[in-house]
Amino acid sequence: MKVILFGNDRQQEFLNQIEAFIDDIRRRGIECGIEQSFYDYLAVSLPNFPLPAAIDCRQSVTADLAISLGGDGTFISTVMRLLDRQIPILGVNTGHLGYLTACHIGMAGLVLDEFVAGQCRIEERTMLQVDSDEATIKHRYALNEVAILRKDTSSTIEMETSLRSMPLTTYHADGLVISTPTGSTAYNLSAGGPIMSPTTSCIVLTPVSPHSLTMRPLVVGDDAQVTVKTTSRTDFYQVSVDGEGTTCPSGSTIIITRAPFKVLLVRREGDNFASTLRKKLNWGI
């Protein structure tokens, strides 16, 4: 069995636990590698600790499991490095909310044992793909959302929106969030959109501060092609793909569709949608 560790460069208070976890992996006889940028950070932070080999994910990569050490941002970064390689990802929380993670760093060894024993389940999560003939989108895939936002103006932007080439409406708003079920608890939730079970086959369109009160969040099937032509009083607007922004010219069009692959998330058998909401959103009693 082979695992690859991913992480961020904000792990100072968890370095001892990361050391212990890597030692745990070795004691189990599991082959381990560390993604190159995380390896570079650990090499400086743990100069006397023998690290596993660095892995360049820009090359062909195979593994049985990817382990993301951090919060939700690190998990998304791990997804973007792997994309369509179909390697299951286990999120280990050393961040804040950790909605996408399965456990805290202190339980990582236990959950790894559960995975090896076949006691974890794999959830498939939908991603979005962003295309445009008129703008160069830096990041084309989103696990959480694609957000169209105003830029350099306090005025609303105009977003002429179609579903499967059929006109839907023109949103006059600060922006429009097109979210996956996984991302429904992220920007979509802050904008007033619905929470969706993460394995459902749908996406949601949620306007941000719409000019008209009749403009409400809309849930559609994930086979929908969402086409949005955006006009701004300035020369540009912003397209944010899981927080990675691209400046696009006013009047250009972007097309959002379901990506041709899914992300594989490792979940513990005791975890479920209801318990996650109770724990992460403080709904518990």
- Confidence category of residue 84, pLDDT binned at 50, 70, 90: very high
pLDDT at 273: 85
What is the pLDDT averaged over residues 108-120? 95
pLDDT at 213: 87
| Higher local confidence (pLDDT), 270 or 194 | 194
Helix boundaries (H) for the chain: 15-27, 36-45, 72-82, 108-116, 187-190, 273-280
Instruction: Specify the length of the chain in residues.
Output: 285
DSSP conformational letter for 52: P
Which residues are catalytic, by number? 72
Please check the confidence at residue 238 and state whether its pLDDT lies above 80: yes
pLDDT at 278: 86
What are the pLDDT digits (tens) for 152-166?
989 999 999 999 999
Token pair 């991603």 in the structure block, residue? 127
- Domain 127-260 in CATH 2.60.200.30? The answer is yes
The pair of structure tokens assigned to 165 is 């080439």
What are the pLDDT digits (tens) for 240-256?
999 999 999 999 999 99
pLDDT at 81: 96
Q: What percent of the chain has pLDDT over 70?
A: 99
Q: Compute the distance between CA of residue 176 and CA of residue 44 in angstroms, rounded to an integer.
A: 42
Q: Which fold has domain 2-118?
A: Rossmann fold (3.40.50)
Please check the confidence at residue 285 and state whether its pLDDT lies above 70: no
Nearest to 75 by CA among 125, 149, 135, 133: 125
Structural domain boundaries of the chain?
2-118, 127-260
Cut 0.85: pTM above it:
yes
Q: What long-range pairs does 74-81 form, CB within 8 A, spacing at least 24?
A: 74/6, 74/7, 74/8, 75/100, 75/101, 76/100, 76/143, 76/144, 76/242, 76/243, 77/6, 77/8, 78/6, 78/35, 79/127, 79/143, 79/263, 80/139, 80/141, 80/242, 81/6, 81/35, 81/57
Average pLDDT taken over every residue of the chain = 94
